Amino acid sequence: MDRVLSGMRPTGKLHLGHLHGVLQNWKELQDKYECFYFVADWHALTTDYKISHEIKNNTIEMVADWLAVGLNPEKSTLFIQSKVKEHAELHLLLSMITPLGWLERNPTYKEMKNEIKNKDINNYGFLGYPVLQTADIIIYHAKYVPVGMDQIPHLELSREIARRFNFIYKTNFFIEPEPILTDFAKIPGIDGRKMSKSYNNAIFISDKGKDLEKKVLNLVTDTHRVRRTDPGDPERCLAYNFHKIYCTENELEMINKECPKAGIGCFDCKKILLKRISEKLAPIQEKREKYISNKNLILDILEEGSNKAKKIAKETVDKVNEIIGLKY
């Protein structure tokens, strides 16, 4: 069976953007491939080394969401990067053969250097971010890497580094990983920008009750619809992006019929949405709470996964040392 690998930096609890964009996809891949999903805690450190003490708790909160959504440790290997030290060893060895120019020209790097003002990323580790990411992937000979558009340049670098290793050491040991692009109906944040924790516009998987109600009922609707009697257009309505994901065909049909003739008010329309989102999240939240109330269970799952991952990673690194002539 081909291998799939992907990782996420531990940012704490996840939101609906993660749920529909990433986790759903990871979950489906479990049945078709041998999957490895890991917490990229060292990658978190490249930008957040000053708040390193938050990483562990963020890991637990994030993996609680993974498990609640249906990532299954019986099917997939769930692990923590820093528990498999071989990633660091391979990163070091790959760093020797990675031309500086490749890293300096990396578009993600250039963009982040310009955009991130609130954190210091002027460090060696951050420049090497894609080299570590390459080690993460090729250490398992992963064939496919499910990622979003933003990670495509990184993956291209991984392919180039793998190719260069093979070329320099005259081997075909590493395979070049291919992306599986997660293409999904992009879900906006509650302010219309991309949903992101740092924009403060996210609906979290764990949101419920009054919190969820406030976020959903406050969603901006068609701004042309000032009065209840004004006709609206779902295509101009921010909330409707959510309806499209959560409501039934019948509900969508009704909304498309009634909204343009002011047959339904926005409040009632968003009430329907709220009900559907709550229904969808309820079973996930129930599972999440079970895990969160038993953090040791989460840590045990990750420990076991890390041990499994380590066996493979160690084999790879032993072989790499042999290939480059450092076997004593």
Using CB under 6 A, list all residues that contact ligand SF4.
221-222, 225, 232, 234, 237, 239-240, 255, 259, 264, 266, 269-270
Which residue, 1 or 185, has its beta carbon nearer to ligand SF4?
185
CB closer to ligand SF4 out of 171 and 223? 223
Of residues 113-172, which lie at the interface with ligand TRP (CB under 6 A)?
A: 133, 136-137, 145, 147, 151
Order of all β-strands in the sheet with 34-39: 77-80, 34-39, 3-8, 144-147, 178-181
Q: Please check whether residue 39 is in contact with residue 302, taking contact to mean a CB–CB distance below 8 angstroms.
A: yes
Separation in Å, CA 286 to CA 129, 131, 208: 36, 38, 11
The DSSP secondary structure of 276-313, one letter per residue, reads HHHHHHHHHHHHHHHHHTTHHHHHHHHHHHHHHHHHHH
Between 43 and 270, name the residue whose CB sits nearer to ligand TRP: 43
| Smallest distance from ligand TRP to CB 9, Å | 5
Residues 6-65 that bind ligand TRP (CB under 6 A): 6-9, 40, 43
Residue 266 contact among ligand TRP, ligand SF4, none, beta carbon within 5 to 8 Å by kind: ligand SF4
To ligand TRP, the closest distance from the beta carbon of 259 in angstroms equals 37
130: nearest Cα among 163, 107, 157: 157
Amino acid identity at 28: E
Residue 189 binds ligand TRP, judged by CB under 6 A: no
Are 224 and 237 in contact by the 8 Å Cβ rule? The answer is: no
Identify the sign of the CA torsion 60, 62, 65, 69: negative
User: CB under 5 to 8 A by kind: which of ligand SF4, ligand TRP, none does 269 bind?
Assistant: ligand SF4
What minimum distance in Å lies between the beta carbon of 323 and ligand TRP? 22
Closer CB to ligand SF4, 217 or 312, in the complex: 217
Q: Which is nearer to ligand SF4, 135 or 237 (CB)?
A: 237
**At 33, is the secondary structure helix, strand, or coil?**
coil
Stretch of residues binding ligand TRP (CB under 6 A), selected from 1-9, 54-62, 88-96, 303-311: 1-9
Structure tokens at 263: 């047959």
Q: Is the Cβ of residue 258 or residue 289 nearer to ligand SF4 in the bound state?
A: 258
Query: Which 8-state DSSP code applies to residue 20?
Result: I
Which partner from the list ligand TRP, ligand SF4, none does 284 bind, CB cut-off 5 to 8 Å by kind? none
SS3 6: strand
Torsion of CA 103, 21, 80, 6, to 10 degrees: -60
Q: What are the tokens at 35?
A: 């999957």
259 binds, among ligand TRP, ligand SF4, none (CB under 5 to 8 A by kind): ligand SF4
CB of 202 vs ligand TRP, minimal distance in Å: 16
Residues sharing a CB contact under 8 Å with residue 270, sequence separation 6 or more, in sequence order: 216, 217, 219, 221, 239
Where does this chain bind ligand TRP (CB under 6 A)?
A: 5-9, 40, 43, 133, 136-137, 145, 147, 151
